[in-house]
Structure 1
Amino acid sequence: MIRKETPDELLERLKYEESINSRGRLKIFFGYAAGVGKTYAMLSAAHDLKKQGIDVVIGYIEPHTREKTMALCEGLEKIATKTVNYHNIKLNEFDLDQALVRHPQVLLVDELAHTNAHGSRHEKRYQDIEELLKAGINVFTTVNVQHLESLNDIIASITGVVVHERIPDRIFDQADQVELVDIEPEELTRRLNEGLIYRKQQADQAITGFFNSANLTSLREIALRRAADRVNKLAEQVNHAGIGYADEHILVCLSPSPSNPKIIRTGSRMASAFKGKLTALFVETSEFPSMTKENRERLRDNIHLASQLGANIETAFGDDVAFQIAEFARNNKVSKIVLGRSNTRTRFGLIRRPFSEQLTAYAPNLDIYIIPDKDTPVLKRKLTYAGSCELNIKNLGFAAAALLLSTLISFIFYEMGFSEANIITIYILGVLITSVVTANQLISALSSILSVVIFNFFFTIPRYTLAAYDSGYPVTFIIMFIAAVITGDLAIRIRKQARQSANTAFQTKILLETSQLLQNAKSAEDIIACTSNQLIKLLEVPVIFYPSDDGHGLKEPSIFALEPMPAANIVSDNEKAVAEWVYENNKRAGKTTNTLGNAQCLYLAVRSDSQVQGVVGLALKEALDTFASNLVLSILSECALALEKDMYNYKREEAAVKARNEKLRADLLRSISHDFRTPLTSISGNASMLMNNCDRLEAAKRNQLLMDIYDDSMWLINLTENLLSVTRIEDGTAHLNMQAEVVDEVILEAMKHINRHASEHQLKVIESDEVLLAKMDSHLIMQVLINLIDNAIKYTPSGSEIIISSNKKGDMIEIKVADNGNGIQDKDKAQLFDMFYTVKKSVADSRRGMGIGLSLCRTIVQAHGGSIMVADNVGHGTIFTILLPSEEVDLHE
């Protein structure tokens, strides 16, 4: 039965196929040893493509002494190599930038596992090829089986040679095509003997070393099997599309041990074989801050290796490593744990349970695999110090004061007749307090020794000597010393664990706080500032944020720091170029990475899915640890989601505005087509009657027809004037000619331009007792009054009373247009001033308005800094009230 894809799975598959179609395709010519003919086969395939009219270019071919291979380079266009100076040695390297500019259909780049010269954009050539593929360039390349990361340990154990140039297995597995170039080991040996691969002296050394018959046979078998595994993986991906990991979950434990890479590679092979998920866990103990630089670098390399092999990196905290691993395994449904064998020797006859047994005791139901390694160095357990061993005056002073105080209290106890056991307790307490306050292992040990000496000197017989008569005293001294050391060490460890827990809680709090702050952010600028400030709080380093210019590159950066700092170094052209590269390639680069590592900052993409919302630069002094790195990525992920949400909100508002504008346009066209038709039909009809029957019509009838034509024309003119006024004021092109005007004069002037049907109503103007001045554009305010009065005439029955009045109300001038008509229902009042809204009722002249008159009135009044409102008249009817800022009269002019 075929499982039907869910909509989400279908969408993800379409996105993946779209991204694949835009990328270049990678073909790998795969062999088991140098000389099998990989480069020859690649060049032969290139010539075949060229004959078909394909644009094929050589990006880089490793110089060989093999004449037939080099002869195939003829006839193919070559991109010139770039010269890199390294320790006064000139190295010829592949020129990535020139290849991107040339942008052929197919590019040949030899030696996939090559390590680039220092100063190149990428540390590894496979990273160059990934950038070429992203740019849409198809790439042909070559690689041998010993360069695959997961097989490094196996091949090293067979050949005795550790290959340092390696590629992640994902590069090989995700290649679009892998062509296995295979010859018999005997044929390869013959080529070596004939000098077709290396020169005579090199060939002799190779045959007796790496290229002996047993090694070649084993390498060939591994290469054939690895190629077959890749085919099986591709088949499974096709047959089980949309199905995630199986039930198997493999856990490997990270450590700075030299043998840890083998454990990681073994776990990777197991995850691949079981088709399961791979997780790499590092347990950070209280001793982590005192880890040596060498161990830190080795741990960082091991974490990077696990990441390259596809592991999900996790961190746990606690001094009981076995317990933390067991708890993590239980909570995350781990099925198998891969460990290394620890060759630890016991000291002083002390027996310590092996780590695997401790883990088995905590997790008896888990499958635990112990990976032997004959090269694992024997580790002699050392005394580890939970605290610092540096001496300083402050800590020494406190220790001395604690010893002095303990001695004074002991003298008091001694005089009071307390036993020696009580006095011993006082000194142990003093050592405990010293350990807690100083957190210094050396001072704690010195305090323990001095406590024993002082106790012996002052409180054992004979007093004031270091001798002791009682044969049991030496045992007492030893127990006292051990108790003091143990309690001191425990106190230091507890303090370190408390500090570690507080630090972890603080970092987790920052993550939760960031989520809450981003939810409350109102704009993209707020989101960027919030994210940057949280990163500063977490890392205490300057942060540079480059926002995305809506898919068109990066905008100018914003710099955030605890203190003002010069921006020249961290926003230089070189730094901006690194940020642009991160934006375009959606990968981290800069300081502490293998890409553009000479930069001053580490640059990370702020991305959601495959869309980059911006780039963050961190001016780090050293590489981030795993936990801090995960927190930073989580914060940036939250930031990306917030920016994406803000962008979607902006686009949604933009779409809503467009929809409103489209509706406005449709309403306008519909209203114009409807409301212009009636007067135009009337004008054309009356004009036609006058033209055809002018001589036969009575003078009164002709005058009536002419008056109707005039009225309809004036209605159209007023309507057009309203439309023009609305558009001018809304788009800001209208110029308000603001002057101090007498309000009553403006009202009386407006009365001269009202509807001719005014004679059918009782119009009354109530002038104010005082001169009222308002700063206004008199022409526009007259238009407001005309619209209001015409509406009152239009929507009230004949004979209705319409009163226009004005008076001063505080620092505003109040103008009222009141009628005693039928009034307006409450449900219509809320929308009365909206564009194209009309009250559904019959009108006196049977001409339906467009619904822009009152909207225009509000727009004009608000442009004057005033307001307009509607209310019911006393009894019945409607009152429209206009409030305009008053203008004071200067009596001294």
Structure 2
Amino acid sequence: MGTNDAPPESPAGHGTSADGPGQATPPRARRGRLTVYLGAAPGVGKTYAMLDEAERRRARGTDVVVGLVETHQRAATAAKVGSLEVVPRCEVAYRGATLTEMDIAAVLARAPQVALVDELAHTNAPGSRHAKRWQDVHDLLDAGVDVITTVNVQHLASLVDDVEAITGVRQQETVPDQVVRDADQIQLVDLSPQQLRRRLAHGNVYRPEQIDASLRSYFREGNLTALRELALLWLADRVDDALTRYRSDHAITGAWPTRERVVVAVTGGPEGETLLRRGARIAQRAAGSQLLAVYVLPTDGLPSATPAAVARQREIAESLDGTFHTVVGEDVATAVAEFARAVNATMIVVGVSRHSRWRQAFLGSTSAEIARLSDGIDVHLVDHETAGAGRRSRSWSTLSPARRALGWAGSLAAPCALTALLVAVDRAPQDLSSPLMFFLALVVGVAIVGGLWPALAASVISFACLNWFFTEPTGRFTVARPSELLALGVFVVVAVAVASVVDVAARRTVEAYRARAEASTLAALSRSVLSGDDTAQAIVERLAESFGLDAVLLEVRAGEQRDWETVAAAHRTPAAAATARPGDETLISVDDRHRLILRGRALPASDRWAVEAFGAQAGIVLEHRRLREAAAQADTLEQAEATRTALLAAVSHDLRTPLASIRAAVDGLTAPEVTLDAQDTEALQRTIAESTRRLERLIDNLLDLSRLQTGAVRPILRDASLEEVVPLAVEPWLASVVLDVPEDLPLVHTDPGLLERVVANLVSNAVRHAPGRPRVLLAATAGHDDVELRIVDTGPGVPDERKPTMFAPFQRLGDTTGDGLGLGLAVADGLARAVGATVAAQDTPGGGLTMVVTMPRASTANAEPSGARS
């Protein structure tokens, strides 16, 4: 079984491309043709079939070479290579081993007409030209070389999860489906499960020691049957693509019933669920059938379906393993029929019309029109509860009550007034045309004001007035001359037609105004969301304002068994909130988790869908907010987890080192069998003191980092002098630093204790990275709004590419002494930010690193305390 763009030339069970005998080498300007032998399972013989095809092509004079063939030590496959020219493989060294791959450069240099490339999904060894073998195949095709290749169905990317569910084995090597779908020819190589198991048992697939395990695991009969069905279904989709392309290229519009495709026409009405479930039952009768639901805009004269109703039917269709499609068409029946022909459907499921029998008798029905236009596609007509029930309109006119009242008054009074005027001017006119025109204008005016029904009444009264007062013989409802009778008849027809057109125009105008208002309202809502005003509270407030509601409540629940909770409420007036009663509420369900409660005027049905759109937007806002919060929590947890991981990795060594030094020194001092002189005792005591200071510094940094990450640092800001901060900070390193802090420096607004920790960490870092060099310089200068403290060292410095990450935790920046966890700069930066200062890194002229601490001056800073320090 296969899909072929060219007629097959081989015996049954194989497919070939259209290479003729003695065919000349194709020009390299064209792209090569790709032929894929698709195996339903390992061992079905796809490589053997590929080699068989190569022999036939070579016999016809085609230049064929073997780019790569995997025989898997199968004697029959190795013998099948026979005298075919084989391009030597290239060797790739990887982790001390030598691997062989297809030499794509050699194949391209050889430039054959056809190249055989086995195992399309194979992953090449690192260092190869491409990561995947199918990418090598693309290079050959681009060079104009025809390629014959093989792949198993379990290696198709879209089927990996399905194959794992069937076999319990996750395929690591995959090929994108589109690579195989784009092939010019796909040939399925298949064996029945029983035949394949026999081949396996006879040793034709795997080595003898692997046979029993394979038969009991991957090659179980059920597994092979399921894999075979997967291959057939996947290939059927490819056949559908080829068939669709063929029908399009040859302008074939009629249906070709290759497999069951059931199209269900839905309107968003209550009958939709019945139609979808009936269509699903029909589609389930044959394996491989498809269910397609189609919704046409606009509808066939019925009220437009609400977005919630359409969304509900979409969910039903998808839950029934179908697809939902929305098409636009002026005529519903034509749109449905054209869609069914386009998808090559075999059946259309449509419901009995909801229109009344009178309307169907005069205007027909959509279902009957679909049957007429189906053109060979079966039409299944489904009865339902709302069939023939007609449609109820909330009002027989879209005009306001005042205009309708004025129209009825005009329909009664205006003809009488016009008659009196015409009689007073000329009681016996010689020509009836003038009165007819006046009365026609009157009917049009009444139609403009009051709509269709007042205009019809005006036309009847006008006809009576014309007949009684202006048609011979007057004073009776009789007509002497046939021409006048015809004129009266034409008057009534024209009056009714004009009144109908005017009424429809008035309705469309009102609908257009309403649609524009709704679109404007939704556009304003969208702008508010895009501008960041995306709170649920803002949405319900806009909803109450736009529709003139007394109160709007948005409620959510975590599950079907949970209680509803109000998350946003809007009241136009405080009195509305105080006087609202549950009985005055209108409930609109947005989805399973969200609903709106409206209090105030009753909304017309035409406004409900806009309210539902508002509610849906509010639900989306809440969901986005929840996802943002979850993402923020996940980021926090991820950062905390990364910190913990790095901390554990660092602490395991760096905290143990000073503890080991202390333990060794204490053991030396307390060992009874060891006699120490004063110099050795002093050295051990000095070791204990240094290790203890180092340990204290590490623990302090860890505690400070923990406090910074949990937000527990609350500085007490006040005006302070650097003279009370810097000397205390550098005391442990006085021998290694030079201070240049003028006495007349202005005060800074900071937390002295925390600033001291900042300076101490920076000085410690500078001293540690510049041992044996000139002493570290601390120089302070005053600016207009700030004071800068520069810690200058002449050490190795920090490369520019490392500066963006140097303030992150656990960055040692080349320090291999093991003295510290790489937290000093991170703690210094965090504490500096907490007290309103900044820390920046600059290069020292001549080499080294300069850390610049910028602090706000007391005169320009906000001296109000920010809290109690912890």
Q: Is the 8 A contact 2:353 2:366 kept in 1?
A: no
Q: Is the 8 A contact 2:584 2:600 kept in 1?
A: no
Which SS does the other structure have where 1:769 is aligned?
A: coil
| Partner Cα separation in structure 2 for residue 355 and residue 837 of structure 1 | 73
Verify the 8 A CA contact 1:815 1:882 in the aligned structure 2. Answer: yes
Read off the aligned partner of 2:638 and give its amino acid letter. Answer: A
Partner of 2:504: 493
Task: Please tell me whether residue 483 in structure 1 is matched to residue 494 in structure 2.
Answer: yes
- Code of the residue aligned with 2:742 in structure 1: it is E
* Corresponding residue SS for 1:490: helix
Of 732, 755, 766 in structure 1, the residue corresponding to residue 741 of structure 2 is: 766
Identity %: 18
Contact 1:570 1:601 in 2 (8 A): no
**Residue of 598, 604, 607 corresponding to 2:589:** 604
Other-structure match for 1:659: 638
SS of equivalent residue, structure 2 residue 572: coil
Q: Following the alignment from structure 1 to structure 2, what is the Cα–Cα distance between the partners of residues 458 and 805?
A: 115
Structure 1 counterpart of 2:565, one-letter code:
E
Going from structure 1 to structure 2, the CA distance change for 1:248 and 1:721 (only over 3 Å counts) comes to closer
Task: Call closer, same or farther: CA 1:800–1:537 in 2, change over 3 Å.
Answer: same
Q: 1:754 aligns with which of 713, 732, 740?
A: 732
Of the three residues 749, 754, 763, the one matched with 1:775 is 749
1:736: which partner in 2? 715
Given residue 785 of structure 1, which amino acid in structure 2 is its aligned partner?
V
Deviation string, structure 1 residues 60-82 (Cα, Å, up to 9, x no partner): xxxxxxxxxxxxxxxxxxxxxxx
Change (3 A) 1:852 1:255: closer
CA spacing shift, 1:387–1:601, aligned 2, 3 Å: closer
Query: Cα deviations across residues 575-601 of structure 1 (Å, max 9, x unaligned)?
Result: xxxxxxxxxxxxxxxxxxxxxxx9955
For residue 823 of structure 1, what is the aligned residue in structure 2?
Answer: 797
Tell me the equivalent position of 2:250: none
Give the drift of 1:654: 3.0
Candidates 697, 707, 720, aligned match of 2:699: 720
Q: Does the 8 Å contact 2:292/2:324 carry over to 1? A: no
Secondary structure, in 3 states, of the residue corresponding to 1:874?
coil
Residues 155-203 of structure 1: CA distance to partner in whole angstroms, max 9, x if unpaired?
Answer: xxxxxxxxxxxxxxxxxxxxxxxxxxxxxxxxxxxxxxxxxxxxxxxxx
Distance 1:11 1:537 in 2: 54
Counterpart check, 1:546 vs 2:555? yes
Q: Structure 1 884/426 Cα, relative in aligned 2: closer, same or farther at 3 Å?
A: farther
Q: Unaligned regions of 5+ residues in structure 2, if any?
A: 1-39, 42-152, 167-228, 238-258, 305-312, 862-870
For residues 422 and 647 of structure 1, the distance between their equivalents in structure 2, rounded to whole angstroms, comes to 74
Residue 714 of structure 1: how far off its partner (Å): 1.6
C-alpha offsets along residues 102-155 of structure 1, whole Å, 9 cap, x if unaligned?
Answer: xxxxxxxxxxxxxxxxxxxxxxxxxxxxxxxxxxxxxxxxxxxxxxxxxxxxxx
Change (3 A) 1:717 1:489: same
Give the match for residue 793 of structure 1: 767
Q: Structure 1 residue 435 and structure 2 residue 435: aligned?
A: no
Matches of 2:164 and 2:613 in 1, distance apart? 25
Shift of 1:261: 14
Is it true that 1:859 corresponds to 2:868 in the alignment? no
- Matching of residue 247 in structure 1 with residue 221 in structure 2: no
User: Within 5 A, what are the aligned runs for 1:180-219?
Assistant: none
Contact 1:286–1:496 at 8 Å: present in 2 too?
no
User: 8 Å contact 1:600–1:619 — kept in the other structure?
Assistant: yes
The DSSP-based 3-state class of the residue aligned with 1:823 is coil
**8 Å contact from structure 1 (residues 744, 806) kept in 2:** no
How far off its partner does 1:267 sit? Answer: 9.6
Range with greater deviation from structure 2 (798-807 or 391-400):
391-400
Instruction: Give the Cα–Cα distance (whole angstroms) in 2 for the partners of residues 800 and 475 of structure 1.
Output: 121
For 1:485 and 1:841, the matched residues in 2 are separated by 97
2-structure distance, mates of 1:253, 1:738: 68
Q: Which amino acid aligns with 1:763?
A: V
- C-alpha deviation, 1:433, in angstroms: 5.3
Superposition deviation, residue 739 in structure 1: 3.6
The two structures, once aligned, show a CA RMSD in angstroms of 6.5
Candidates 552, 562, 572, aligned match of 1:563: 572
Q: Do 1:284 and 1:315's aligned partners in 2 also have CA atoms closer than 8 Å?
A: no
Aligned partner of 2:650 among 648, 667, 671: 671
- Equivalent position of 2:839 in the other structure: 868
CA contact 2:726–2:759 (8 Å) conserved in 1? yes
Bigger shift: 356-365 or 711-720?
Answer: 356-365
Partner SS state of residue 773, structure 2: coil
After TM superposition, give the deviation of residue 622 of structure 1 in Å.
7.8
* Matched residue SS, 1:557: strand
1:693-745: CA deviation from partner (whole Å, max 9, x where unpaired): 9866464x554443343222222222222222332344344453444322223
Gaps of 5+ in 1: 14-239, 290-302, 573-597, 608-612
Tell me the distance in 2 between the aligned counterparts of 1:774 and 1:873. 25
Report how far residue 557 of structure 1 moved: 0.4
Pair 1:407–1:269, CA change in 2 (3 A): farther
Aligned partners of 2:754 and 2:831 also within 8 Å: yes
Q: Does 1:839 align with 2:841?
A: no
Match of 2:348 in 1: 335
- Partner of residue 683, structure 1: 662
User: Which residue type is aligned with residue 838 of structure 2?
Assistant: S
Q: How far is the alpha carbon of 1:885 from its aligned partner?
A: 2.9
Give the match for residue 88 of structure 1. Answer: none
1:840 Cα deviation from its structure 2 partner: 0.9
Structure 2 vs 1, CA of residues 398 and 276 (structure 1 numbering), >3 Å: closer, same or farther?
A: farther
The within-5 A match list for 1:320-359 is 335-337=348-350, 339=352
Partner of 1:143: none
Q: Distance in 2 between matches of 1:683 and 1:474?
A: 126
- Cα displacement (A) at 1:862: 1.4
SS in 1 for 2:732: coil
Structure 1 residue 485: Cα displacement: 1.0
Structure 2: how far apart are the matches of 1:285 and 1:887? 76
Mapped to 2, the partners of 1:732 and 1:377 lie a distance apart of: 69
Residue pairs, 1:353-752, within 5 angstroms = 361-363=372-374, 365=376, 367=378, 392-395=404-407, 428=440, 431-432=443-444, 434-438=446-450, 440-449=451-460, 472-497=483-508, 499-500=510-511, 526=535, 530=539, 543-549=552-558, 553-554=562-563, 556-560=565-569, 563-564=572-573, 566-567=576-577, 600-602=585-587, 604=589, 606-607=591-592, 613-617=593-597, 647-648=626-627, 650-690=629-669, 697=677, 699=679, 702-734=681-713, 736-751=715-730
Contact 1:768/1:807 (<8 A) preserved: no
User: Residue 795 of structure 1: CA displacement?
Assistant: 0.9
Q: Cα distance, 1:675 vs. partner?
A: 1.8
Question: What code does the residue aligned with 2:657 have?
Answer: T
Q: 1:695 to 1:342 in 2, by over 3 A?
A: closer
Aligned to 2:255: none
Classify the secondary structure of the residue corresponding to 1:817.
strand
Q: Secondary structure at the match of 1:673?
A: helix
Letter in 2 for 1:788: L
Partner secondary structure for residue 335 of structure 1: strand
Going from structure 1 to structure 2, the CA distance change for 1:690 and 1:494 (only over 3 Å counts) comes to same
Distance 1:314 1:624, change over 3 A: farther
Work out the number of aligned pairs and report it: 595
How far did residue 447 of structure 1 move?
3.8
Within 5 Å, which residues of 2 pair with 1:266-281? none
State the one-letter code of the partner of 2:641.
E
